[in-house]
Structure 1
Amino acid sequence: MTYPKLEIHLPKLHHNAKMLVEMCRKKGIEIVAVTKVFLGDPEIARTLVEAGIPMLADSRISNIKKLKEIPVPKMMLRIPMLSEIEEVIEYADISINSEIEVMERISQTALKKGCQHQVILMIDLGDLREGIWEDEADEIIEKIIALRGIRLVGLGANFGCYGGVIPEKHTLEKLVEMKKRIEQRYGIQILYLSGGNSNSLHLIWENQMPEEINQLRLGEPIVLGKEDVYDKTIEGLYDDAFCLFGEIVEIKTKPSVPIGKRGVDAFGHIPQFVEKGMRKRAILALGRQDILLDGIKPKDANVTVLGASSDHLILDITDAQEAYRVGDIVELKMNYGALLAAMTSAYVAKEIIRQPDKKEKGKFQ
């Protein structure tokens, strides 16, 4: 097998999705599975749907196209570019929006195609990414309702992705209040209150989720078994459905601080070093072109990442549990950003594991 390699364990992904679907369903919440981290791969997406996921979402129309044959609704997770509206209407059933100009163009295009496109209006509740302000809502909604090629089916909010804002009960209650006001004033039904991403999961466990919130858009909890607020593995979920492996190409004992006059590195940074004397180091054949350096750590807790260039990952293996040799394979754990980078890299081989490990087989019954 070619290295670096990313193993994708479908039984573990199925398990994670099934557990999350059941957990959220008890609170009246449906999960929209975000497929962007695995580039909209149809086999992976189909596995999630078989586990009970009722809707798929992606921010790239090229990924949504790959999901065309999977018989569940698709959501465009990023505000459509004017240049891609025709494709969004063709391949996505619903899209998130906040710009009236974009929605006007969607309506015009949908009418030409003889259809109506569903829209979730995004409300900015403090994270300062996409969304309108609350005090703009009535003016915008009046304009949306007048667009015959659009149907307003939901209100949504996003948290954590830009401003790091953690959703709270009183914050999401603003969506609930807005829904009630809109339905009463305009006589329409708001089907979805999309209460954020994995940052909102903690409100379920803490019994703080408003009852009217009925949708969450989840990626990381499904693929890595983690939630964002406390950065912990969710009980009962797998955190190794995706595993990254790299091959050692050099092992040498060297000083811990470079020798000679120093300037910036290849990426424009001034690296900092701690004097630890002579250390045994291993170089893996992968680098910043393949991974997010800050988002990986070796599975062996006694091995540390020293740094990386475009094509070389340098590890300190002085205290490693194993006696590594050139040609050995090192397993690396990833956060969401590192997984996204590894999946996107054309230089990382992808291997799909379709059967459960023998030692874990009983967990997937």
Structure 2
Amino acid sequence: MYPRLEINLKKLEHNTRIIKQMCERHNVKIWGVTKCFCANPLAAMAMLKGGADMLADSRIENLKKLKDIPSKKVLLRIPMHCEVDDVVLYSDYSQNSELSTLKLLGEAAQRIGKVHNVIIMLDLGDLREGVWPDNIDEFIGEAVKIKGIEIKGFGVNLTCYGGVIPDEVNLSKLVDISKDMGDKYNLDVEIISGGNSSSLYLVEKGTLPKGINNLRVGEAILLGRETAFGKRLDGLYDDAFVLKAQIVELKEKPSVPIGNIGMDAFGGKPVFEDKGMMKRAIVAMGRQDIDINLIRPFDEDIRLIGASSDHTILNVTNSKKDYKVGDVVEFYLYYGGLLKAATSAYVHKVLV
């Protein structure tokens, strides 16, 4: 059935293995981030076969799917108060930045006779989650008093929100703060997590600051590129995930609608360029399923024109292939495109 998202497990395993080898040379462990494919257990297992040291996800619902997989698991999104009982049950580590949440996690862990491992997130300028460096000493001083949790490390998020690129300066600051807090409060600092796929360029260059011993890797494994500059990584596949959609209409039509133009289905007023008559293919997927700005046809002669909720319109005028109704068009995916397609219940997931 179509539309479908094909997940190539061998390519996923291969990409993980290459990144694992790259990082291992610098004494860096990797967590395979599963959120972009909604923690499909077989895809997660491919990451582990490729050498991922742990599995990590932003949503506790996804970690529940992975509960029977023999690997330690990490909750990446700082927990909500309402989910602390599930956090201590389904994750071995969680990332945190709020004392009130740490207290609830500690209470939840004590109720089931556990100690829950936490990683304290620092905000080094990207302005998403994290304790501001000026406040970290006071924060740790309070956190170490909480029963039922153990601080096992420190981490930072960069690029995801503010676009701040990880570099030797901000990551060295992470290392310094981690060591200072470890020494002052006698912490077992097991993990200093220097970010996500955007930090891989430093690994490639050999300039990742000494002391960073963990990266949380999703996009580089899934799509074969680092995310600071969007560069393809040598030896990695960029088509471990392929989106496929079937043509339901193929006709010659004008390139500009006829009539007075008002709002489209999403509240915008579309603008069209007159390119004369064109051969237009409609595939049966739309903005409920995908982000058309974050997919790219395999056929380089196809142009994406636009989409409504359920239909995507393609200009196939210049394609060398003689498309027919019923034919399938394949698409590469960017990160946001993969995230949306994987999340849509209307896109069939097929493991190959």
For structure 2, list consecutive stretches of 5 or more residues without a partner in the other structure.
Answer: none
* 1:180 is aligned to 2:179: yes
SS at match of 1:231: coil
Residue identity in the other structure for 1:164? G
In 2, the alpha carbon distance for the partners of 1:125 and 1:188 equals 21
TM-score by length of 2: 0.98
Question: 1:54 maps to what in 2?
Answer: 53
Question: 1:20 maps to what in 2?
Answer: 19
SS at match of 2:256: coil
TM-superposed CA distance for 1:71, in Å, is 1.4
* 1:271 is aligned to 2:243: no
Alignment of 1:87-236 (within 5 A): 87-236=86-235
CA contact (8 A) 1:80 1:97 kept: yes
In 2, the alpha carbon distance for the partners of 1:270 and 1:169 equals 45
Residue identity in the other structure for 1:188? L
Deviates more, 1:184-193 or 1:282-291: 184-193
In 2, the alpha carbon distance for the partners of 1:257 and 1:193 equals 55
In 2, the alpha carbon distance for the partners of 1:153 and 1:74 equals 14
Percent identity at matched positions? Answer: 49
Question: 1:358 maps to what in 2?
Answer: none
In 2, the alpha carbon distance for the partners of 1:230 and 1:160 equals 10
SS at match of 1:65: helix
Question: 1:302 maps to what in 2?
Answer: 301
CA contact (8 A) 2:79 2:94 kept: yes
Question: 1:363 maps to what in 2?
Answer: none
TM-superposed CA distance for 1:232, in Å, is 2.6
Structure 1's consecutive aligned runs of 4 or more residues displaced over 2 angstroms after TM superposition are none
SS at match of 1:271: coil
In the TM superposition, what whole-angstrom CA distance separates every residue of 1:266-286 from its partner, at most 9, and x where no partner exists? Answer: 111122222211111100000
In 1, the alpha carbon distance for the partners of 2:188 and 2:71 equals 22
In the TM superposition, what whole-angstrom CA distance separates every residue of 1:217-251 from its partner, at most 9, and x where no partner exists? Answer: 01111111111122132110001111111111111
In the TM superposition, what whole-angstrom CA distance separates every residue of 1:57-111 from its partner, at most 9, and x where no partner exists? Answer: 1111111011111111100011111111001001100000001100011111112
CA contact (8 A) 2:22 2:204 kept: no
In 1, the alpha carbon distance for the partners of 2:72 and 2:64 equals 12
In 2, the alpha carbon distance for the partners of 1:183 and 1:334 equals 41
In 2, the alpha carbon distance for the partners of 1:54 and 1:292 equals 32
In 1, the alpha carbon distance for the partners of 2:82 and 2:28 equals 33
SS at match of 1:288: coil
Residue identity in the other structure for 1:336? Y
In 1, the alpha carbon distance for the partners of 2:98 and 2:271 equals 44
CA contact (8 A) 1:28 1:211 kept: no
In 2, the alpha carbon distance for the partners of 1:176 and 1:231 equals 25
TM-score by length of 1: 0.95
In 2, the alpha carbon distance for the partners of 1:337 and 1:36 equals 12
For structure 1, list consecutive stretches of 5 or more residues without a partner in the other structure.
Answer: 354-365
- State how many pairs are aligned: 352
Question: 1:334 maps to what in 2?
Answer: 333
